[in-house]
Every structure is written in C-alpha cells, then in structure tokens.
Structure 1
Amino acid sequence: MRGAGALGAAALLLAAGLAPGGARAATIEVEIDGIEPGGGRVFVALCQGGLSEAACRDGDSARAAGSRQRFVLQDVSPGTYALAAFQDLDGDGRLDRTPLGLPLEPYAFSGEGGRGARPDFARAAFAVREPGLAIRVRLSRALPPR
C-alpha cells in the first residue's frame, strides 16, 4: 500500500501483522460516497485493534474527484480490521476537529462504527480473508459546514 502521510488524531492507516498458517494477502476494494465538492484529498485506511492513530498506520489517499471515489488496498494480511476515511477539505493532511473532538470535515467508518455515537472498533470491524472483499462507506459530517 502507498503511504498516506500524516493524518493527525484520526490517522487512517493499515497495521498489518503476519498472517498465521501461510495465508495469502487479500485485496480490499473500497468505494467512498458522499465526497463534497471543493476538492481536497480523500484519505482511506484500515485500522487493526482500535481506531486510534497508533492502530491505523498505513493507507492511501487521492485527490477528490467527483462525489464517489474507488480505492484498491492490496496485500492486506487476513485478519480483523475497521475502515476509516475522511475528506481533507483544507489540505492540511489532518481531520480537523472542534475542541471537544467532533470532526469538522466529512468522515466515515465501516459498519456502524461512527454513526450516532463515539467511533467504536468492535462496531466497525470486519474480517478479511482471501481473496478479499468490497466495502462501501459514505462520508458525512458531525456538524454543518462553517
């Protein structure tokens, strides 16, 4: 996977461990919906064991192009992950937050990981096996745009 750069407090990246029993790496196709007009980059990553910056260390990003974008994460070791994504509207490479920690830019987690409550790894988690899977998430805002 390509490096995504610094993602700040909501770093979104892959923490891949060695797979037991010689299992082969998988591919994950990620479709991000709800990208807002105005550009910036869209960051997407896999987290393992939690949703903290330390649990999310590798991922991918691309310039926002349209309301939907597709990413392909390759060479992912089988295991349990959560997907996190955000749109960096101001180009600073970080998910901007209020002093209380609420995201100011569009963001998403897999599953029910961040809907209506504090993000939770167990609610966002999914299993990755060979040959891989497809995941779709929709970016949304915690607060209206300023």
Structure 2
Amino acid sequence: MSVLRWAARAVLGLSLTGIAAAATVEVTVDGIEPVQSNLYVALCQGGLSEANCRTGQDAPVRGTLQRVVLQDVAPGTYAVAVFQDVNGNGRLDRTGLGLPMEPYGFSGEAVRGARPDFERAHIAVREPGLSVRVRLSRALPPR
C-alpha cells in the first residue's frame, strides 16, 4: 500500500471516529437540602479530584429531588460527582482535614464512612446515554 493511500485511510479513520454520536447522561439527585442554593454536577475521568472533574454544569435548586441532563458526552468511563453549594461561594467547602462541609455524593455504590473511590463510582457511558442516581449526604452536621 502506498504511503499516500495509507495516509488517506488514516485521516478518514480519524475523521470517522469524530463522527460518533455523543451520549446524554441524566443525573437524578436526591437528598437535596431545601435551601436556596446551586447544584454542581460533574463528570470525572480517571479520578475524583477537582482536576479530573472538568465537565459538567450547575443548576439552581428547585426541590429535594432534581434531574440534571449532561449532553454531548463522549462515550467512555466516568464517575459522577455532585455537591450542593449551600453558601453560594461556588466551591465545595472542606474542613482543615479535607472533610466536605456541604452535601455531596457520587455515582456507583455508596459506602458510608469510606473515602470516595473512582473504582466504586465509575460508570460506562455509551450511546445514546444512561440515567444515574446520586444521593447527597453530609460528612458532618450543618454548622
């Protein structure tokens, strides 16, 4: 096969992989505290740190159960991370030891008292998409 023909096939293959339809991820969040605040819903890849959770959206709280739909998600392995920004500062507040001070939750199996783990929280996103339920809880009582 000539180099030119190989290059043309390689370019065609790359362009076809970009055509794959994106998925939607419908996240149903329950356990929301009934206070004026925002929900932050993020997709995380490879870990649960803030650096791994770059894709997502925020939404004003409208009730104790709420649905957020993330669109145009490339198929892959993710975890869903959610927190309720009760004090409106745009971030998940933590104690000096790193414990979350606001309601938060992850996809996957919840293990009370265990440190969040990407392996337990990961989900496989495929076309056309999926629905995930995340229950918020607090590590500490409200101050």
- TM-score band, normalised by shorter chain: 0.7 to 0.9
Contact 1:25 1:78 in 2 (8 A): yes
* Greater share of helix: 2
Aligned with 2:60 (options 59, 63, 85): 63
Structure 1 gap ranges (5+): 1-18
Instruction: Mark the structure with the bigger radius of gyration.
Output: 2
Pair 100,119 (structure 1): closer, same or farther in 2 beyond 3 Å: same
Aligned with 2:76 (options 58, 76, 79): 79
Aligned with 2:92 (options 95, 100, 122): 95
Q: Name 1:123's counterpart in structure 2.
A: 120
CA distance in structure 2 between the partners assigned to 1:98 and 1:37 by the alignment: 23
Aligned with 2:138 (options 137, 141, 145): 141
Instruction: Give CA-to-partner distance per residue, 1:21-41, whole Å, 9 cap, x none.
Output: 853210111110011011110
Aligned with 2:42 (options 33, 40, 45): 45
The percentage of counterpart residues that share the same residue type is 70
Matched, 1:111 2:111: no
CA distance in structure 1 between the partners assigned to 2:34 and 2:18 by the alignment: 45
Shift of 1:54: 1.3
CA distance in structure 2 between the partners assigned to 1:20 and 1:115 by the alignment: 40
Q: Name 1:11's counterpart in structure 2.
A: none
Paired positions, count: 128
TM-score (norm 1): 0.82
One-letter identity of the residue aligned with 1:44: V
Bigger shift: 105-114 or 30-39? 105-114
Shift of 1:47: 0.2
Alignment of 1:15-30 (within 5 A): 22-30=19-27
CA-atom RMSD in angstroms: 1.7
Q: Name 2:3's counterpart in structure 1.
A: none
Contact 1:46 1:83 in 2 (8 A): yes
Pair 79,73 (structure 1): closer, same or farther in 2 beyond 3 Å: same
Structure 2 gap ranges (5+): 1-15
